[in-house]
Structure 1
Amino acid sequence: MELECYPTTERPPEIVPGRQSRAWMDAFHARHAYRCLPLNMANTSGWEILCPVAFTAEWNGGIRQEDITLRPDYPSPDFHRLASSHFSHGVLTMHPGYLFRTPPGWSMMAMGSPNHVKDGIQALAGVVETDWLPFPFTMNWLFTRPGKVRFEKGEPFCFITLLQDKPLHEIQPVIRRMDSNPELRHQYDVWEKHRSEFNQRIFRQDPEATKEAWQRYYFKGEYPEEVAPAREDHVNKRRLKEPKFGR
């Protein structure tokens, strides 16, 4: 499978595999936030499009296009191709700089980089049928209040990932009592018992529990010992391919 990336500008932004690190996660004692595997996997389940120039965007709270002002740190001949006030109403529009083509049946979700938090502005998400679309899309951010926001050079301003969304309408959510699935009921009860006992040991400052610090069942793809053997298809690290140049 290939994700085809066709530049629409002479100097398109850089695309890199999603990076795991986040400043707010680094700030935790002992980088505790990285123990949450779902956060790590979300951070790396796609590609980041990086800002080629640092700039400041400011919104005065108005609904007109001119109510957003954009100021790059240094003169850039391509800046007008990167960021603009197109939709008004406090929406900052950015251009990924590529026309993407995905395999048949695959769409692209464009969004903010997962768990990359910016104060004063919110990334908007869109799903695009890139398996046929012959023109590019935009990445949009909505100011959450009047004021200034910064985009640094090398900061991700768009995160792209792929999904097979066509079959979604065929999926029927069903709410069932857990007792209707005895195997799952047993697995959950055993996990809950282990979790409760471990938390009590942590609360009592039990030396062994304090040394262990956290339970690693999900991170290691394991069940509690008496439930079932570890899964062989578990993934706890993802590194996607770097873009390459093709003909």
Structure 2
Amino acid sequence: MSAKSEKLPFLAYHTSTGEPPELVPGPIQREWMNDTRDAFANRCLPLLIANQAGWLVLSPHTVRAIWDGTASLKSVCIENIEGPEPYLAMSHFGHGILTFSIPFLFRTPPGYNLLVRGPANMPKDGAAPLDGIVETDWSTATFTMNWQLTRAQHPVTWKRGEPIAMIVPMRRGELESFEPELRGLYDDPEVAKAYLEWRNSRTQFIKELPVEGSSANQAAWQKDYVHGRAPDGTVAKDHQRKLALKAWRKGKKP
């Protein structure tokens, strides 16, 4: 069975009162990417794929946090501006760390962890997400999402509906199964040939780009990677141009 056809259960049990935070597949768009000149950032397929590579936990509140620059538990002042209780944001560790309680007990298949990280390619002025990996195939505990406030006396706001975390299932032990090996480019003539063809093609394209009427100028940007195509015309067998993560649905009682 291929990875695409394999159906893996991914469960979220709401552990609190009130409406649970919304869980949604990561969207392909990012506001800052759309705002770049001619929206050029949207030409970067690796960015677009990363944008979609997980599910977002959306804040049910509008929260403003200010760090006073000290290590005290009271160093973060938190203001819940909009949204119903129970509130998720707290100061639990001190040192300018803002903690969001995630009111779900997640269950992944045996052997799968959950990477809990900041929303991909969504920088936030004054706050840096702190990633964690949780063994959600057995743990009976919930977890938190933490952000390090990086600028004292600088208010940072998470709006209602804004992502506070991104969750990504990952197979436990898979990273450790890789055998890293450093080689010289010309140790593999075929790899070297393909790379040099790409490098020469790229150099020529950049040279011709400002020349009005040239093929590069008319194309505006190279699309080989977007189409999964090498300079010699070879097409990748398993190329992805977008992801299609499933939406969360309400399950039935077993």
Q: TM-score, normalised to structure 1's length?
A: 0.94
Distance (whole Å) between structure 2 residues aligned to residue 119 and residue 7 of structure 1: 30
Match of 2:44 in 1: 36
> CA contact under 8 A between 2:83 and 2:160: conserved in structure 1?
no
Report matched runs for 1:49-128 at 5 Å. 49-74=57-82, 76-79=84-87, 82-128=88-134
Establish whether residue 239 from structure 1 lines up as the match of residue 247 from structure 2.
no
Please report how far the alpha carbon of residue 169 of structure 1 lies from its aligned counterpart in structure 2 after TM superposition.
Answer: 2.4
Distance (whole Å) between structure 2 residues aligned to residue 170 and residue 5 of structure 1: 29
One of 127, 144, 168 as aligned partner of 1:138: 144
> CA contact under 8 A between 2:62 and 2:83: conserved in structure 1?
no
Q: Which runs of 5+ in 2 are unaligned?
A: 1-7
Q: Which runs of 5+ in 1 are unaligned?
A: none
- Match of 2:188, as an amino acid? N
Distance (whole Å) between structure 2 residues aligned to residue 242 and residue 93 of structure 1: 26
Poorly superposed stretches of 4+, deviation over 4 Å? none
Match of 1:184 in 2: 191
> CA contact under 8 A between 2:60 and 2:83: conserved in structure 1?
no
- Match of 1:183, as an amino acid? E
Match of 1:229 in 2: 234
Greater Cα offset, 55-64 or 197-206: 197-206
> CA contact under 8 A between 1:96 and 1:158: conserved in structure 2?
no
Please report how far the alpha carbon of residue 140 of structure 1 lies from its aligned counterpart in structure 2 after TM superposition.
Answer: 0.3
Query: Share of identical aligned residues, percent?
Result: 36
Please report how far the alpha carbon of residue 75 of structure 1 lies from its aligned counterpart in structure 2 after TM superposition.
Answer: 6.5
Please report how far the alpha carbon of residue 232 of structure 1 lies from its aligned counterpart in structure 2 after TM superposition.
Answer: 2.8
- Deviation readout 1:153-176 (Å, 9 max, x if unpaired): 110000000111313223221100
Over aligned residue pairs, what C-alpha RMSD do you find?
Answer: 1.3
Distance (whole Å) between structure 2 residues aligned to residue 175 and residue 90 of structure 1: 40
Distance (whole Å) between structure 2 residues aligned to residue 156 and residue 207 of structure 1: 43
- Match of 1:236, as an amino acid? R
- Give the match's secondary structure for 2:155: strand
One of 219, 223, 234 as aligned partner of 1:216: 223
- Match of 1:222, as an amino acid? R
- Match of 2:139, as an amino acid? L
Structure whose residues are more often helix by fraction = 1
Aligned length: 243
